[in-house]
Amino acid sequence: MRNMKRLNIINKMIFIIILIFFSISYSYSYVELRADINSHNEINPGFIPYYSNEVLVLTYHVLDKKVKGPISISPQLFEEHIRYLKNAGFHPITPETLREFMEGKTDIPDNAVLITFDDGYESFYKLAYPILEKYRVPAINFIIVSMVGKVGAFPHLTWNEMKEMLKSNLIYFGSHTYDSHHLVRTGLFSQAPALVGHIYKPLFYRESDEEYKSRISGDLWYSKYLLEKNLNIEVKDLCFPYGAYNSTVLEIAKELGYEVFYTTNKGINKPGKDKYIIIKRLNAGSYNMSLTRFQSMLFKYIILSHPQIHTNKFIKNSFKHHKKMR
């Protein structure tokens, strides 16, 4: 009995030490780009991570060579991320595989990861797509359908560009709503994402429950309809703008034929028995997501997904996987 207590205490201490190490590394990692990660010595931060029957889902938005912001990343840094994932033993999967895995219908490789892009910016076609093709990494882009072909600070994809990428069998498209990627006034001094807020206009109008449901249903239906009509695909994936959703949105979306729902909730994905498939994601698409910071973020959530009781097993499997990769 005493030995078991000591073992549990040791496991907890090891887990806490590892978590602190990667948390500090994540917080203070440098921003400079790594010039070359072709050798295993340069890409291995002590040990290569190992996990099974789980999927990491990464989020990106815009690739830009000059703009530095929370949703933009340089093409060079994005390629470092992709090259690292391939060299370090991660296994990119498709959104179809993720869906079947979450439904308990298929197995997935160890260290499974899915790449996602939000908003449907044209930089996906011009800058990200060539990199994804080069490394044969699948990805899904969630389209704000009302913005297709629109120009602006960040131009959006055209239907023809999307059709061309579909031919590669690497690129998938889902809905990011038709036109609900904005905030609505919900009170005199309050706002909320359009998918979850009842519209309020001072003195004149407050959206009823039925009007709200009708607006949401119309938006999600029209987005799905246009994507399927113009791209000749079946759309089952919906990404919530701002990660905002509620039970009404989930119910409406499922009735319309959506099956997988992508959020901004952080974590790693495991199959369950929930009524809805809710996908957690990690935001990797910021200008300062250096390779070291990227690695630390992945390790942090991989470690957090394993109960303390399994710390020794996790470390043992990680080093075993590391040895195999050398």
Predicted confidence (pLDDT) per residue in 243-256, tens digit: 999 999 999 999 99
- Mean pLDDT across the stretch 140-152? 96
199 contacts 186 by C-beta, under 8 angstroms = yes
In angstroms, what is the C-alpha Rg of the chain?
Answer: 21
CA dist 164 and 160 (Å) reads 6
202 vs 193: CA distance, rounded Å? 18
Per-residue tokens: 317: 């499997």
Closest by Cα among 208, 190, 189, 78 to 135 = 78
- For domain 2-325, say whether CATH 3.20.20.370 is its number: yes
Residue 291 CB contacts under 8 Å (≥ 6 apart), including other chains:
33, 34, 37, 77, 80, 81, 84
Q: How confident is the model at residue 204 (pLDDT cuts 50, 70, 90)?
A: confident
Instruction: For residue 324, name the pLDDT band (cuts at 50, 70, 90).
Output: low
13/306 Cα distance (integer angstroms): 14
Average pLDDT rounded to a whole number, residues 189-211 = 93
Residue 98 clears pLDDT 50, i.e. is over it = yes
> How many Å from the N-terminal Cα to the C-terminal Cα in the chain?
40
H or E element, residue 322: helix 311-325
Per DSSP, 44 falls in state -
Element housing 133 (H / E): helix 129-135
Q: pLDDT by residue (tens digit) across 254-270?
A: 999 999 999 999 999 99
Q: Could you state, in order of their start, the residue ranges of all structural domains in the chain?
A: 2-325
Let me know: does 297 contact 291? Beta carbons within 8 Å: no
Instruction: Report pLDDT for 237.
Output: 98
Residue 306: CB partners within 8 Å, gap ≥ 6? 51, 314
pLDDT of amino acid 296: 92
